């Protein structure tokens, strides 16, 4: 026996509310004539029992409509079936199955046609079990719509016992979970792809609990790199992987890896006891329903070793250059002394001898034939004077005596005068009154840096004026060389081909100092040299 479906928005003849008049499908409910007569009479107590029944019927209809709307929103349908096979559906059941209530009448015999063939037996057994035991917990199966579309539903069935104690009818629910299953399948698929990438990654990877730092998963590359069997690996923590001296405290690890830290390089101890340098990238993920962090590790041991070798080579080269400069300065000082003392003395002696010869041959009564000899003697003396001047200049350029005997300010003043005389560029020097005492190495490097800066001005700046300033600066000394020339290109400032600039920087670095170059407005170049008040490293 079949029945009309239960439609809460349009009640069917076989589902009536006690005391309520029967409605034809599709017709609006007429106003209760009893209520009309009571309303017209205006007497509140005219028919109290009839009014109560009508109010209860209206409340029941409102609740049925509310239930129908809730089922539609939640996509949950309900059904009722007795042992005779009579079957009643709610509105949402038609929506789930994709059929129209006006065109389809549900029945126990016709239900299997709406269920996927592979699931019909299981559903039949669940219904039979509900009639036998009373309750069947949630189970999932597929329904097939008339257009062939498949939808997944989760069902729950409960039986109601009659006075004889047997299950007389069943009440059940369907909920459409197709989208949930699709989303879950997509999550599982993404997790499977991620796991595949995780396992196949050639770099060591692991997942750990951020609260305890315990490893939750490791890939084959990590097992191979660190040498620990997988079971042993999963019983360890981040602290076990690194020695205490190379790993921050537990609190620091949690903080540093907390928000997806990247680029940290830590030392890890592998199973054979060797230490390797690993650069790690950490990111927070959801792992099996709980927050975790995945780490990608890259072995940078060789790279760091190569970087250390390069750094050591640079330091060795810098030390060699500094030693060469020191040797050069010593040689310049030695040559300056030899040129000034020995060659200068020889030239002075030669000048004296020529002067005596000049006096002898210039005595009164000199024969006319010797007058030419007198002219040559005078010219020779003049040449000797020029040679003495040249020797003094060479000696000063090799190593100014003022630098050793009078200090840096006097040496710079002498160099400024020489520069102005040789280049024609006006050069002034400003020295602070409170200039601190300078170590010999600092004074030496500052002088030659200034000399190189003046050489660059003469060669490239096309300047008409140069200003030198020497003053104390924050526990050190500062030298500024400023010109009003054409300036210097930014490319040239950073170029490694400019040996003059490289030499200036190396000299400053010798004393732990710095050299900075900048263009100034409206035109010109400023060289700033800062030196600490300490001896240069040897």
Tokens 């079957």 — which residue?
Answer: 87
| CATH class of the domain comprising 183-299 | alpha beta
Question: Residue 437's Cα: distance from chain center in Å?
Answer: 47
Dist. CA 402–CA 415, nearest whole Å: 10
Dist. CA 487–CA 132, nearest whole Å: 101
Q: Mind listing the pLDDT tens digit for each residue in 401-413? A: 778 778 899 989 9
Confidence of residue 495 (pLDDT cuts 50, 70, 90): low
Q: How far apart are the first and last CA of the chain?
A: 110
Nearest to 522, CA basis, from 490, 480, 487: 487
Query: What pLDDT, on the 0 to 100 scale, is given for residue 118?
Result: 94
CATH number, domain 33-174: 3.30.450.20
Query: What pLDDT, on the 0 to 100 scale, is given for residue 281?
Result: 85
Please say if the pLDDT value at position 6 is more than 80. Answer: no
Query: What pLDDT, on the 0 to 100 scale, is given for residue 473?
Result: 82
Q: Where are the domains of the chain?
A: 33-174, 183-299, 314-399, 403-532
Dist. CA 96–CA 76, nearest whole Å: 8
Q: Mind listing the pLDDT tens digit for each residue in 128-178? A: 888 887 677 788 999 999 999 999 999 888 888 877 778 888 888 888 889
Strands 275-287 and 476-483: unpaired
Percent of the chain with pLDDT strictly greater than 90: 17
CATH number, domain 403-532: 3.30.565.10
Query: What pLDDT, on the 0 to 100 scale, is given for residue 535?
Result: 65
Query: What pLDDT, on the 0 to 100 scale, is given for residue 536?
Result: 60
Query: What pLDDT, on the 0 to 100 scale, is given for residue 244?
Result: 62
Q: Residue 365 phi/psi, 5° resolution?
A: 85, 15
Dist. CA 262–CA 281, nearest whole Å: 4
Average of per-residue pLDDT values in the chain: 78
Q: Model-level pTM greater than 0.85?
A: no
Dist. CA 96–CA 150, nearest whole Å: 10
Q: What is the DSSP letter of 214?
A: B
Q: What is the DSSP letter of 342?
A: I
Tokens 């989303």 — which residue?
Answer: 183
Average pLDDT over residues 220-237: 91
Please say if the pLDDT value at position 34 is more than 50. Answer: no
Please say if the pLDDT value at position 259 is more than 50. Answer: no
Greater pLDDT, 127 or 395: 127
Average pLDDT over residues 277-294: 84
Dist. CA 278–CA 300, nearest whole Å: 6
Q: Which range among 84-93, 120-129, 136-145, 265-274 shows the weakest confidence by mean pLDDT?
A: 265-274
Query: What pLDDT, on the 0 to 100 scale, is given for residue 390?
Result: 80
Query: What pLDDT, on the 0 to 100 scale, is given for residue 322?
Result: 67
Query: What pLDDT, on the 0 to 100 scale, is given for residue 83?
Result: 84
Q: Which range among 181-185, 261-265, 350-354, 443-447 shows the weakest confidence by mean pLDDT?
A: 261-265
Phi-psi region of 524 (alpha: psi -120 to 50; beta: other; left: phi over 0): left
In this chain, the answer to whether the domains covering 183-299 and 403-532 adopt an identical fold is: no
Greater pLDDT, 287 or 32: 287
Average pLDDT over residues 337-343: 70
Greater pLDDT, 34 or 347: 347
What SS3 state is found at 235? coil
Please answer whether residues 276 and 299 qualify as being in contact, where contact means their C-beta atoms are separated by less than 8 angstroms. yes
Average pLDDT over residues 476-502: 82
**Residue 349 structure tokens:** 């002696």
Query: What pLDDT, on the 0 to 100 scale, is given for residue 36?
Result: 44
Query: What pLDDT, on the 0 to 100 scale, is given for residue 117?
Result: 93
Please say if the pLDDT value at position 92 is more than 90. Answer: no
Please answer whether residues 134 and 159 qualify as being in contact, where contact means their C-beta atoms are separated by less than 8 angstroms. yes
Query: What pLDDT, on the 0 to 100 scale, is given for residue 143?
Result: 92
Average pLDDT over residues 282-289: 83
Q: Mind listing the pLDDT tens digit for each residue in 363-415? A: 676 676 666 777 777 888 888 888 887 877 777 667 677 787 788 999 899 88
Q: Which range among 31-40, 374-383, 443-452, 469-478 shows the weakest confidence by mean pLDDT?
A: 31-40
Confidence of residue 537 (pLDDT cuts 50, 70, 90): low
């Amino acid at each position: 026996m079949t029945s009309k479906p239960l439609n809460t928005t349009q009640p069917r003849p076989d589902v009536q509310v006690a005391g309520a008049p029967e409605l034809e499908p599709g017709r609006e409910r007429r106003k209760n004539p009893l209520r009309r007569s009571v309303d017209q009479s205006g007497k509140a107590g005219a028919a109290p029992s009839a009014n109560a029944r009508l109010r209860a019927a209206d409340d029941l209809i409102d609740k049925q409509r509310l239930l129908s709307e809730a089922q539609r929103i939640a996509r949950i349908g309900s059904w009722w079936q007795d042992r005779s096979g009579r079957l009643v559906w709610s509105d949402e059941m038609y929506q789930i199955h994709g059929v129209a209530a006006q065109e389809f009448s549900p029945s126990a015999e016709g239900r299997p046609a709406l269920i996927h063939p592979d699931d019909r037996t299981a559903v039949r057994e669940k219904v039979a079990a509900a009639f036998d035991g009373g309750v069947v917990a949630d189970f999932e199966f597929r329904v097939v719509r008339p257009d062939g579309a498949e939808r997944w539903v989760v069902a729950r069935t409960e039986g109601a016992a009659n006075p004889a104690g047997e299950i007389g009818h069943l009440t059940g629910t369907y909920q459409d979970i197709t989208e949930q299953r699709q989303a879950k399948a997509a999550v599982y698929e993404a997790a499977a792809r991620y796991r595949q990438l995780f396992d196949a990654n050639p770099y060591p990877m692991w997942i750990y609990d951020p609260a305890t730092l315990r490893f939750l998963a490791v890939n084959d590359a990590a097992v191979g790199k660190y040498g620990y069997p997988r079971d042993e690996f999963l019983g360890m923590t981040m602290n076990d992987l690194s020695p205490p001296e190379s790993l921050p405290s537990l609190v620091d690890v949690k903080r540093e890896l907390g928000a997806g830290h990247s680029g940290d390089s830590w030392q890890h101890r592998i199973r054979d006891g060797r230490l390797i340098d690993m650069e790690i990238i950490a990111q927070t993920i959801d792992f099996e329903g709980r927050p975790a962090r995945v780490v990608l590790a890259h072995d940078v041991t060789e790279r760091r070793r190569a970087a250390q070798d390069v750094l050591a080579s640079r330091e060795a080269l810098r030390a060699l250059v500094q030693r060469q400069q020191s040797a050069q300065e010593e040689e310049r000082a030695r040559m300056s002394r030899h040129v000034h003392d020995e060659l200068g003395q020889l030239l002075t002696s030669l000048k004296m001898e020529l002067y005596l010869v000049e006096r002898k041959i210039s005595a009164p009564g000199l024969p006319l034939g010797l007058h030419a000899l007198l002219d040559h003697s005078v010219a020779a003396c003049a040449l000797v004077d020029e040679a003495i001047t040249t020797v003094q200049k060479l000696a000063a350029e090799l190593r100014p005596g003022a630098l050793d005997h009078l200090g840096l300010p006097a040496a710079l003043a002498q160099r400024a005068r020489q520069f102005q005389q040789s280049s024609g560029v006006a050069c002034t020097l400003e020295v602070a009154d409170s200039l601190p005492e300078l170590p010999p190495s600092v004074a030496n490097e500052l002088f030659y840096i200034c000399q190189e800066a003046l050489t660059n001005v003469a060669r490239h700046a096309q300047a008409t004026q140069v200003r030198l300033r020497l003053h104390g600066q924050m526990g050190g000394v500062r030298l500024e060389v400023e010109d009003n020339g054409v300036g210097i290109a930014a490319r040239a400032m950073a170029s490694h081909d400019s040996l003059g600039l490289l030499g200036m920087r190396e000299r400053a670095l010798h004393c732990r100092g710095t050299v900075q170059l900048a263009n100034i407005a409206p035109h010109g170049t400023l060289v700033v040299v800062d030196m600490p008040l300490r001896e240069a490293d040897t």
